[in-house]
Amino acid sequence: MPAIDRIIISLSAASAIGYLGRVQSAPSPKRALIKTSSTGLLAVLAILRGSPGLLVTALALGAIGDAFLAFDGELAFLGGLGHFLMAHLFYIQLFSRLPSRAGTELAYGLVPVSGWQAQVAAVLGVLVVAMVGALVPRVSGGLRVPIVVYSTAIFVMSLTAVAVDNDRILAGALLFTTSDAILAANQFLIGPESPHRGWMQHSVWVLYYTAQLLIALEF
């Protein structure tokens, strides 16, 4: 690995660790910059490595989404949701162009219908439906459609990753999905005084950053 790659990865990881220590701190421009830098530097790394433009764009959109989610409020949440929705659409395009695992049968060129991949897809489908069913009654009317659309997008992104012949990309997609599920539960399903908020907020960030790093390093 070239020295410049190691430097950028180190700076990205340092930013991620720096934000981990500020997860529960009050929102501020400095906190947002630290958070955004972690994924933003992965986008820079992807450019320098000559990675596909789809990956660069997905990472850049993720960094912008991070900036929005570093602040509180419904508008900030919608801004983050919108940018991550676009990021997942680029990931779907990226993953769908990669070689499939040997013997994988796909319906509509997307949904695994054989072997363990079909079982994983079924579990993901059940979990997404359950999460959406739990969230929709608990959120304001303006968030219901965006949450359903976003949940559908990350489900499709996960399906495309299940079919890809790359374990790290699959792991990254599943970690991403898990991170989002915990984020949604923390945001809408538990009370502000819940003793679970601390570990949930920290795990969201660890899982999310690990997911982006795993995916970025595969190209």
Residue located via tokens 């993901």: 124
pLDDT value of position 142: 86
The structure's pTM equals 0.92
Could you read off the pLDDT tens digit of each residue along the chain, which spans 219 residues? 889 999 999 999 999 999 999 999 999 999 999 999 999 999 999 999 999 999 999 999 999 999 999 999 889 999 999 999 999 999 999 999 998 877 677 766 666 766 788 888 889 999 999 999 999 999 888 889 999 999 999 999 999 999 899 999 999 999 999 999 999 999 888 888 889 988 999 999 999 999 999 999 999
Query: What residue ranges do the domains of the chain occupy?
Result: 3-216
Q: How far is residue 53's CA from residue 37's CA, in Å, rounded to a whole number? A: 19
DSSP per position, 89-106: HHHHHHHHTSPBPTT--E
Residue located via tokens 């790359």: 166
- Those residues whose C-beta lies under 8 Å from the C-beta of residue 153, and which sit 6 or more positions away, are 85, 88, 89, 92
Q: How far is residue 123's CA from residue 217's CA, in Å, rounded to a whole number? A: 27
Residue located via tokens 């960094």: 63
Q: How far is residue 149's CA from residue 161's CA, in Å, rounded to a whole number? A: 19
pLDDT value of position 113: 64
User: How many residues are recorded in the chain?
Assistant: 219
Q: Could you give phi then psi for residue 218, rounded to 5 degrees?
A: -90, 0
Residue 40 contacts residue 63 (beta carbons within 8 Å): yes
Residue 100 contacts residue 164 (beta carbons within 8 Å): yes
Closest among 48, 41, 43 to 17, alpha carbons compared: 41
